[in-house]
Amino acid sequence: MTGEREQGRAREVLRTVFGFAAFRGQQEAVITRVAAGGDAFVLMPTGAGKSLCYQLPALLRPGVGVVVSPLIALMRDQVNALRQLGVRAAVLNSSLSAAEAQEVERQVRAGVLDLVYIAPERLLTERTLALLDGSPLALFAIDEAHCVSQWGHDFRAEYLQLAQLAARYPGVPRVACTATADVVTRREIVVKLALTEAELYVTGFDRPNIRYHVVHKQNTRQQLRTFLRSEHPTDAGIVYCLTRRKTEEVAEQLREDGFTALPYHAGLDADTRQRNQDRFQREEGVIVVATIAFGMGIDKPDVRFVAHLDIPKSIESYYQETGRAGRDGQPADAWMLYGLSDVALMRKILAGSEADAVHKRVEQQKLNALLGYCETASCRRQVLLAYFGEERPEPCGNCDTCLEPVETWDGTLAARKALFVVRGTGQLYGVAHLADILTGADTPRIHEKGHHLLSAYGKGKELSGKEWASVFRQLVAMGHLAVDVEGHGSLLLTPTGLAVLGQQETVRLRKDPLPHKERKRKRLPAASAAMPDGPDAAALWEALRTLRRALADEAAVPAYVIFPDATLREMLTHRPQTLEALGRLSGIGERKLARYGEAFLELLHGFAGDDAPVRRVVGFAEE
Ligand code: ADP
Ligand code: ZN
């Protein structure tokens, strides 16, 4: 049966070329379909392993796999990484000289490449299309497919032209990939890329290796320093700030505190920006302190933390920005400082923007949802995923509220009152007015609408307007209320909200943090706790990183291209003493074993540890 044979071949390539023991999630389903000539639309979060979904079938099918990717720097890194695995890959973009480009074109035509990465504008030239017409093609992969969406911030006009690939190359399977969560963009991609025949593969948006923390802001500099020194003393990470000036100040402070920190914002000249980004991408342990201008084009898999010193403007932004941490699947932290002053500032920025009134209101509501997230007493991951319409029955055990539960109160009655007033006013009003009704405020609007006549009027005097606002925000965050994005910022009841109203569910609310009293904080177990301890573990870890660095410099590639952190960590844990044992670790395929095995083994021999003799015996026994 071809199906089974394809599957067997796919697993073989996964093991020997990529060095992985098993497929993740839906990778195998996608790969089998594409290898058999079908189209696929792959919607998976960052770090899920989308690249393999087109790289591997390109190796299984005859001809070259054409990858359309929007960013030249990323193409180069991907191609470097593939070559390290022994895959025949090349780029075709404006960074090549005419002669170099001609050589790549010759190889495409001759069918001696497995993969070629092409920028969209180049792909659509007559010259390239003519080249593809006369070449054996394995597949088309359209990476970052959301770039086709005119409403998104990554819009690329050339992506709209990619639909013509369907008509021009009907027999060539196409794979589109994106990490974009929302349903509207998803539909737009299917239509604009003519993917109606494509099988859809969606995995949840959870990023289980990211640990979420939200910390009450007291002394930014000191809190950041403490966090970094205790959790990430030598790691690469991103620190987000709201203003350009602050990025420079914080970078300066971090340098004074002994970290390698560089600023990044749109006000720096292009050269400096590029240089700082390159250093972040290629060196180890560099911290970039940035405005949100730093984002698109960051494809560093070993970012160990993303810190927000100011709140982002929405949960979408937060998810996207924190999502740059831990792409390699290893433990990473998303750490945010949250203070009421930020909220005021963010509101002011949103209110002062160019957007029209409707748009502004939507932005305000999105900010409110983010605040609900900050204030939640339940698992942060549950709140985050609920916002994207994903239900998660159990708390995650890997966020601050799971690890260190906050004080809560029984808010069931308050929640019912809040939901009741939403329903009683026809789901037409926003938080401020609803809170006014509950507290029995005497405003012109109350009288104009006749809301002083409602039975709910003045029935919530036990809480202040601010506290009611917090109740409403928490209800939005819990998914019991939704924000009407159609235009008015009104709150709408959801099915779970109705359940609360119908007394089927109790609601616990978070107590407002005490701003003045110093709250005692237990230290959470470090996200990087997977690191085995032992007398020489730290020394071996540093030695492994140094060796990787040296090999990377020699090959002029970023360190993670040699081996990802996950592989080094396995070396640290298992301390293999034979080539064969080394080759069994995740991320070590045949080519890399041949190329780097001896060097790492030599190092590992020096760190055999106390129980090494036992391991050696096992190693010999298996040989
Ligand atoms: P995405 O494009 O979805 O953000 P990548 O394709 O960059 O994710 O993969 C993220 C990381 O996971 C990479 O380091 C990759 O090598 C690794 N990876 C992918 N598939 C597997 C697998 N089946 N087993 C182990 N690691 C994998
Ligand atoms: Zn949790």
Q: Percentage of the chain surpassing pLDDT 70? A: 90
Residue 448 burial by Cβ neighbours in a 10 Å radius (0-12, 13-18, 19+) = exposed
Task: Domains for the chain: give ranges and CATH numbers.
Answer: 2-202 (3.40.50.300), 210-403 (3.40.50.300), 408-512 (1.10.10.10), 531-622 (1.10.150.80)
Q: What is the mean pLDDT of the segment spanning 383-395?
A: 88
Write the residue with the smallest CA distance to atom 27 of ligand 1: 49
Residue 301 in contact with ligand 1 by CB distance below 6 A:
yes
Residue 49 in contact with ligand 1 by CB distance below 6 A:
yes
Residue 51 in contact with ligand 1 by CB distance below 6 A:
yes
Element (DSSP H or E) covering residue 229:
helix 220-231
Distance between CA atoms of residues 303 and 218, nearest Å? 26
pLDDT, residue 216, reads 79
Residue 259 in contact with ligand 1 by CB distance below 6 A:
no
pLDDT, residue 622, reads 32
**Which of 314-323, 350-359, 499-508 shows the lowest mean pLDDT across its residues?**
350-359
Taking a 5 Å cut-off on Cβ, the residues next to ion ligand 2 are 379, 381, 395-396, 399, 402
Q: What pTM was computed for the model?
A: 0.73
Write the residue with the smallest CA distance to atom 17 of ligand 1: 49
Question: Using 50, 70 and 90 to split pLDDT, how confident is the model at 297?
Answer: low
Distance between CA atoms of residues 355 and 370, nearest Å? 20
Contact residues for 307 (Cβ-Cβ < 8 A; gap 6+): 224, 227, 237, 238, 239, 240, 333, 335, 336, 337
pLDDT, residue 396, reads 95
Output the CA 572–ligand 2 centroid distance in Å.
28
Instruction: Report which bound ligand comes closest to the CA of 587.
Output: 1
Residue 48 in contact with ligand 1 by CB distance below 6 A:
yes
pLDDT, residue 469, reads 83
530 has a pLDDT exceeding 90: no
Distance between CA atoms of residues 473 and 315, nearest Å? 13
Per-residue pLDDT tens over the stretch 541-551: 889 999 999 99
Q: Give the HSE-up count for residue 366: Cα atoms under 13 Å, Cβ half-sphere.
A: 21
Write the residue with the smallest CA distance to atom 2 of ligand 1: 50
- List beta partners, residue 508: 410
Q: Measure CA 110 to chain center.
A: 38
Distance between CA atoms of residues 526 and 6, nearest Å? 42
Output the CA 376–ligand 2 centroid distance in Å.
11
Element (DSSP H or E) covering residue 351:
helix 340-351
- Mean of the per-residue pLDDT values of the chain: 87
User: Which ligand 1 atom lies nearest to the CA of residue 46?
Assistant: 4
